[in-house]
Amino acid sequence: MTTPPIHQPIRAPIRTGIIGFGLAGRVFHAGLIRAVPELALTAIATSRKDEVAALDPAIRPVADPQALIADPDIDLVVIASPTGTHADLARAALLAGKHVVVDKPFTLTLAEARALADLARDTQLTLTVFHNRRWDSCFLTVRQAIEDGVIGRVTRFSSCFNRFRPQIRDRWREDGSPGSGLLYDLAPHLVDQALVLFGQPQAVSADIAILREGGAADDEVAITLHYLKLRVQLGASMNTPDASGGGLPRFAVDGTQGRLVKRLLDQQETQLVSGMHPGDAGWGEDADPLVIHDAQGLATNRPAITGRQETFYAQLAAFLQGAAPTPVALDEAVAVQAVIEAAQISAREGRVVALPLP
C-alpha cells in the first residue's frame, strides 16, 4: 500500500477543524481528537454554536465550511458532514492546502474516491478515512486470535453489526438521500475490517433491501466476499437485535482447527455518548470474552483486548509529525470503496461481481 507524502512534518499542536457537528463530529471526532495532546481542536463548522460553546468556549464556531477550509490557522480538516458532501469538501480542502480526514464512507462512488486519491498524491497532502473500528475491542480480540493461529487457517468469517430499530427516525442517514442507508453507514466498517484481515477478495456478491414499513433507505445488507478458500459473510441490519437481545454474535470465525465466537460489540461508542473519554477509568474495557472452541469441542475463554479508537488520531498526529505510518493508508480506503461499489452492482444485477473493478 502506498502513503501520500507530506511536504514537511508539522509541529504540534496540529490545528484541527471539524466540518459537521452531528453524531459523528460531536461524539466521535471531537471526543477522540481532544484526547490527543498533539492535536488542537480549533474550529468547528456548524450552525450549532451553543453546542460548540458548551463543549469548549475556546473552540471557534464557523458558519460556513468553506470559511473553515480557507482559514490559514487550520492545518487539518476533518469532514464529518453527510456522505453526499464528502467528495466536494475533501477536494476543496486539498486544493486549499489542508491535510484531510474524511469520515466513512469515503465517498459515494469509486470514481470519486480514486479522483481524490490522485489529487492527494498530486498535492502531496495527507488524505485518510476514519476507519476507527479497526480499534474496537471485539475486532482487536478476534484479529489477535486469528494471527495467533488458535483455530488454524480461517475458512469462514462472519461479521454482523445489527441493531433492532423498527421505527424509522427523522435523520439524513435514513431519509433516502444520497449516502443514506446501511451500505454507506455500517457496511464500510465491516468491509474495512475484513480487508485488514484477508486483503482484497476475488469477487463480491450482495443482497441489499429496505424491510421496514415506509423505509426510504436500505436497512438490511448482506455481503459475501469470495476468496479462493475462504468465505467472508458481512451483515448489517436495523431489523435484528444483536447477541445481547438473542441475535447473532458480532463475530463467528471457523477454521481448520476450531471456532471463535465474540458475542458483543465494542462499547466505545456507548461510552462516548455517555460522556466518557479516553483515559477515563474503564475506557474501552470489554467484559465479554472471546470463546474458543477447539477441534474436540472443548471451549475456553480468552479475555477481550481493551478498545482504543483514539489510536487513529494519535497515529495520525505522529504521521503528520513524520514519526509513524498513516493509520489508514489511502489505497486501503479506496479498496473499501471498491467493495462497496461491487456490492451495489451485485445487488442491482443479481450476480457475483469480480474484482478489481475497471
In order of 40, 116, 266, 285, 288, the CA distances from 247 in angstroms are 41, 39, 16, 22, 15
Which residue is associated with the grid cell 490559514?
72
Spatial separation of the C-alpha atoms in residues 293 and 151, rounded to whole Å: 8
Element (H, E) at 189: helix 187-198
Please report the pLDDT score of residue 1 as a whole number: 45
- Per-residue model confidence as pLDDT tens for the chain (358 residues): 444 445 578 888 999 999 999 999 999 999 999 999 999 999 999 999 999 999 999 999 999 999 999 999 999 999 999 999 999 999 999 999 999 999 999 999 999 999 999 999 999 999 999 999 999 999 999 999 999 999 999 999 999 999 999 999 999 899 989 999 999 999 999 999 999 999 999 999 999 999 999 999 999 999 999 999 999 999 999 999 999 999 999 999 999 999 999 999 999 999 999 999 999 999 999 999 999 999 998 999 999 999 999 999 999 999 999 999 999 999 999 999 999 999 999 999 999 999 999 8
- On whether residue 356 sits in a domain, the answer given is no
Spatial separation of the C-alpha atoms in residues 201 and 81, rounded to whole Å: 30
124 and 176 both lie in a single domain? no
73 and 180 both lie in a single domain? no
299 and 210 both lie in a single domain? yes
The bridge status of strand 353-354 relative to strand 258-262 is: unpaired
Q: Provide the CATH number for the domain around residue 116.
A: 3.40.50.720
Which residue is associated with the grid cell 456522505?
83
178 and 57 both lie in a single domain? no
Taking a C-beta distance cutoff of 8 angstroms, is the pair 292, 299 a contact?
Answer: yes
- Domain containing residue 261: 133-310+341-349
- On whether residue 9 sits in a domain, the answer given is no
Cell of 122: 498530486
- On whether residue 357 sits in a domain, the answer given is no
Q: Using one digit for the tens of pLDDT, what is the confidence trace for 184-223?
A: 999 999 999 999 999 999 999 999 999 999 999 999 999 9
Spatial separation of the C-alpha atoms in residues 280 and 100, rounded to whole Å: 28
- On whether residue 7 sits in a domain, the answer given is no
Phi, psi of 103 (to 5 degrees): -65, 150
157 and 108 both lie in a single domain? no
198 and 69 both lie in a single domain? no
Please report the pLDDT score of residue 189 as a whole number: 98
140 and 267 both lie in a single domain? yes
* CA atoms within 13 A of residue 28's CA, in its CB half-sphere: 25
Spatial separation of the C-alpha atoms in residues 340 and 190, rounded to whole Å: 10
What do you get for the CA distance between the two ends of the chain, in Å?
Answer: 19
In order of 53, 264, 312, the CA distances from 234 in angstroms are 40, 16, 23
- On whether residue 3 sits in a domain, the answer given is no
107 and 167 both lie in a single domain? no
Domain count, the chain: 2
180 and 270 both lie in a single domain? yes
53 and 148 both lie in a single domain? no
Spatial separation of the C-alpha atoms in residues 280 and 131, rounded to whole Å: 22
145 and 262 both lie in a single domain? yes
Spatial separation of the C-alpha atoms in residues 314 and 306, rounded to whole Å: 16
Give the bridge partners for 159, in sequence order.
234, 251
93 and 187 both lie in a single domain? no
- On whether residue 332 sits in a domain, the answer given is no
Nearest to 302 by CA among 193, 146, 160: 146
Taking a C-beta distance cutoff of 8 angstroms, is the pair 151, 260 a contact?
Answer: yes
Rg of the chain over Cα atoms, rounded to whole angstroms, equals 20
Please report the pLDDT score of residue 8 as a whole number: 76
Other Cβ atoms less than 10 A from the Cβ of 246: the count is 9
Cell of 354: 469480480
Taking a C-beta distance cutoff of 8 angstroms, is the pair 144, 223 a contact?
Answer: no
Spatial separation of the C-alpha atoms in residues 228 and 221, rounded to whole Å: 23
pTM reported for the whole predicted model: 0.95
Q: What residues contact 214, with CB distance under 8 A and at least 6 apart?
A: 168
Residues in the chain: 358
DSSP 18-46: EE--SHIIIIIIHHHHTT-TTEEEEEEE-
Q: Provide the CATH number for the domain around residue 159.
A: 3.30.360.10
- On whether residue 96 sits in a domain, the answer given is yes
Please report the pLDDT score of residue 297 as a whole number: 85
Nearest to 31 by CA among 306, 319, 313, 286: 313
- On whether residue 355 sits in a domain, the answer given is no
